[in-house]
Amino acid sequence: MKRYEREVYGFGKVFKEEVSSDHIRSHIKALEGVRHPVAAPDALERAADYITDSLHSLDYEMSEHRFSDNGRPFRNIIATRPGINRPHERVVVLAHYDTVAGSPGADDNASGVAVMLEIARVLARFTFERTIHFIGVSLEENEHDSKPCSGTRGSRALAAHARENDWNIAGVLVLESVAYAGDTVVQTKPAGLPVLIPEVGNFIAVVGNELSKGLIDGFALAVERYGVDLPFAELALPGNGEMLPDSRRSDHASFWDEGFKAIMLTDTTNFRSPHYHRPTDTLETLNLEFAAKVCCVSAGLTLDLARFTL
């Protein structure tokens, strides 16, 4: 067994013991409620403040990436732990914090934000070779319900900023609705999906483009390496997913389009959940033990990508 593998072998137990579904619940409860730039702009700002305060309390370096949309200022929240040996190389863990106008967005996407914050907590005591960013992104949801391609404005601005500033990104991990799952949940699939998927919605989907196949493989390795009982389904798409538009419906696509490696972890939202974008998307409908398992594997993958130092 190689040195790094020996060192990380015990962390599977650590993650499973330290990742807390209660912490995830607390974050979702704090964020739950309409968080929308028009319907609830104050709540959107409170969510950004909550993410900032939560990450700052863990001693991450805090900054904001500000961007303009329709003449109004918005912000992506960035927490940073600089790398020790290769600080110019970056690993990004990202989740959007806005909702559609008519939903409290517990799964979409308070669950993703909550898991991101819990990953940041369990990794806070480590130092890494590469720089890690935990980023809360705004304006993922479509600007207009009738325009399905009018979303991901915050991540598009961020990915363009990363490209313009020559960010060297080893990988982006996007957490997009990660807590609706169960053995009695019916799973459907988008038209044109080229692979078979389970008919029971008890798994997390790992979606990447051809450039990001290594990240998909890394997730599968983390499930095994850290000993987490988490069913998952892989989807590696040619190009940037143009042949399957449903594969591009979150912030990972913004990074694909700028040439970065990125994967999305998702419970598949409307292909599983009857509460998608509805007033019923509440904390009480979610499977927090499942979300905790997603958190364990994601923390392990982040650890592998950033490579902790002793």
> So what's the pLDDT on residue 150?
79
> So what's the pLDDT on residue 301?
96
Would you kindly state where each structural domain of the chain is located, as residue ranges? 3-309
Which tokens belong to 189? Answer: 């699939």
> So what's the pLDDT on residue 308?
66
> So what's the pLDDT on residue 310?
47
> So what's the pLDDT on residue 1?
43
Residue 190 CA to residue 186 CA, distance in Å, equals: 14
Which tokens belong to 261? Answer: 């490696």
CB 304 within 8 A of CB 91: no
Of 91, 4, 21, nearest in space to 294 by CA:
21
Top-level class of domain 3-309: alpha beta
Give 129's DSSP letter: S
Residue 67 CA to residue 80 CA, distance in Å, equals: 19
Model-level pTM? 0.95
Block means of pLDDT (10 residues each) for the chain, length 310 residues? Answer: 53 75 98 97 98 98 97 97 96 98 97 98 94 98 80 97 98 98 97 90 98 97 94 96 94 98 98 98 98 97 83
Which tokens belong to 163? Answer: 């490209």
Residue 142 CA to residue 250 CA, distance in Å, equals: 10
> So what's the pLDDT on residue 3?
53
Please list the residues that pair with 175 across neighbouring strands.
265
> So what's the pLDDT on residue 14?
67
